[in-house]
């Protein structure tokens, strides 16, 4: 985190990137840039990062966020145990936005019509990602919650038997939180390893913590269908069921949220960054946003 601050606060805030408002963009498109807009999670990762750098470079920048608060999915990344310091990056970006005159407007869902009306010179879309929900899951089933709903405390689950589907980072971190809230948690995944993409040391700590919390990991098990109180699954070619759960939390990964981008087909000045371009992690989102903001 400290390194991230250095990158955000020191390196990029250096005078070398400063460009006055109205100047030709460095390596840009041969046009005079007068105004930018980032539609984002005003959330950290991509949108705010691009915004404050462009603000620093002298452009007039507005960030729109449909949720009432800034932070995007990275706010949720900061909820699990030992990850609270992730939230500091959001605060740092917001501070830089304030310092460089970026207008951050929350609670506004951006539409094509709004963009046409406002007539921005450049539009940066960092609209993030949405959870992947396989067809065999009926989200209208009342005891099925997304990991995002659990991590944002939109759905509160206490002292229940909970089944988490998917043992990627989001699945196991959600399981961790649920177990800390007194739930009896089982996590199912078709892979042999939980959180396979997590870096080695944090993964080791995470696995030890899952064990201490007595979270049950049922790996090498493919979910076939979801029932009112459990699932049917297949393990080594043998079918079986897990039953008796109060609540089911699918965490099958994310896919790009391209709803707004799709509606803007034909707009010449649209740039996609972060999860909206390809679902990944915050590091990738920040990198793409930084690169774009320095190029424009
Ligand atoms: C539980 C969890 C844990 C994670 N842990 C980590 C981690 O440890 N390390 C890591 O690097 N990454 C982690 N990630 C991934 C990381 O959070 C994302 O990769 C990153 O937030 C992507 O940033 P983004 O700006 O592209 O999109 P997002 O953060 O998804 O932000 C998109 C924003 O756009 C807004 N939006 C969408 N459509 C509109 C619209 N029409 N108008 C206005 N606003 C709109 C949304 O409300 C949202 O705030 C985690 C993710 C989750 C869910």
Residues 243, 263 within the same domain: no
- Cβ atoms within 10 Å, residue 259: 12
Q: Supply the pLDDT for residue 84.
A: 83
Residue 266: CATH number of its domain: 3.40.50.720
- Cβ atoms within 10 Å, residue 67: 16
Q: Supply the pLDDT for residue 228.
A: 93
Residues 220, 285 within the same domain: no
Distance of CA 277 to the CA centre of its chain: 12
Are residues 155 and 181 in contact, defined by beta-carbon separation less than 8 angstroms?
Answer: no
Distance 220 CA to ligand 1 centre (A): 29
Which residues sit with their C-beta closer than 6 Å to ligand 1? Answer: 39-41, 43, 45-47, 64-67, 72-74, 76-77, 109-110, 126-129, 151, 169-170, 173, 257, 260, 274-276, 280-283, 285
Distance 126 CA to ligand 1 centre (A): 8
Residues 199, 237 within the same domain: yes
Question: Ligand 1 pocket: which of 7, 72, 75 to mutate (most atoms <8 Å of CB)?
Answer: 72
Residues 126, 154 within the same domain: no
Q: How far is CA 59 from CA 19, 20, 100, 126, 175, in A?
A: 8, 7, 9, 18, 43
Q: Which domain holds residue 149?
A: 133-250
Residues 175, 205 within the same domain: yes
From the alpha carbon of 83, which atom of ligand 1 is closest?
A: 8
Each residue's pLDDT expressed in tens, for the chain with a length of 296 residues: 444 444 454 445 443 343 333 333 333 222 223 455 665 544 456 889 999 999 999 999 999 998 888 788 888 988 988 888 888 888 888 999 999 999 989 899 999 998 888 888 899 999 999 999 999 999 999 999 999 999 999 999 999 999 999 999 999 999 999 999 999 999 999 999 999 998 899 899 999 999 999 999 999 999 999 999 999 999 999 999 999 999 999 999 999 999 999 999 988 889 999 999 999 988 899 999 999 999 98
Residues 245, 139 within the same domain: yes
Q: Supply the pLDDT for residue 46.
A: 82
Q: Supply the pLDDT for residue 169.
A: 94
What three-state secondary structure class fits 99?
helix
Residues 104, 13 within the same domain: yes
Residue 25 is classified by DSSP as: P
Looking at the 3D structure of the chain, how many domains does it have?
2
Residues 140, 209 within the same domain: yes
Residues 47, 97 within the same domain: yes
From the alpha carbon of 129, which atom of ligand 1 is closest?
A: 30
Residue 179: CATH number of its domain: 3.50.50.60
Residues 141, 172 within the same domain: yes
Q: Supply the pLDDT for residue 45.
A: 67
Q: Supply the pLDDT for residue 274.
A: 93
Region class of 142: left (phi > 0), else alpha (psi between -120 and 50), else beta: alpha
CB neighbour burial string for 206-222, b if at least 16 within 10 angstroms, e if fewer: bbebbeebebebeeebe
Residues 94, 67 within the same domain: yes
Residues 114, 100 within the same domain: yes
Are residues 250 and 224 in contact, defined by beta-carbon separation less than 8 angstroms?
Answer: no
The Cα 188–Cα 177 span in angstroms is: 16
Distance 130 CA to ligand 1 centre (A): 9
């Amino acid at each position: 985190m400290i390194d991230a601050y250095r990158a955000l606060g020191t390196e990029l805030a250096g005078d070398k990137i400063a460009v006055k408002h109205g100047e030709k963009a460095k390596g840009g498109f041969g046009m005079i840039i007068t105004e930018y807009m980032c539609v984002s999670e005003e959330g950290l990762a991509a949108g705010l990062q691009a915004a404050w750098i462009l603000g620093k470079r002298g452009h007039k920048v507005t960030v729109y966020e449909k949720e009432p608060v800034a932070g995007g999915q990275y706010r949720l990344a900061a909820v699990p145990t030992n990850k609270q310091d992730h939230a500091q990056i959001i605060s740092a970006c917001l501070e830089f936005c304030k310092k460089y005159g970026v207008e951050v407007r929350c609670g506004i869902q951006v539409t094509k019509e709004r963009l046409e009306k406002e007539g921005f010179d450049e539009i940066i879309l960092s609209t993030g990602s949405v959870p992947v929900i396989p067809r065999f899951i009926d989200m209208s089933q009342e005891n099925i919650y997304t990991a995002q709903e659990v991590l944002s405390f939109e759905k509160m689950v206490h002292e229940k038997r909970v089944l988490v589907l998917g043992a990627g980072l989001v699945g196991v971190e959600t399981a961790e939180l649920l177990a800390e809230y007194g739930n009896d948690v089982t996590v199912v995944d078709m892979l042999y390893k939980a959180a396979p993409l997590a870096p080695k040391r944090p993964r080791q700590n995470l696995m030890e913590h899952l064990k201490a919390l007595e979270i049950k990991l049922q790996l090498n098990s493919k979910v076939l269908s979801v029932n009112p109180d459990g699932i049917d699954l297949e393990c080594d070619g043998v079918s079986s069921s897990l039953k008796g759960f109060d609540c089911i939390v699918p965490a099958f990964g994310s896919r790009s949220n391209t709803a707004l981008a799709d509606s803007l087909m034909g707009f010449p000045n649209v740039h996609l960054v972060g999860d909206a371009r390809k679902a990944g992690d915050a590091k990738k989102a920040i990198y793409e946003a930084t690169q774009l903001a320095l190029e424009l």
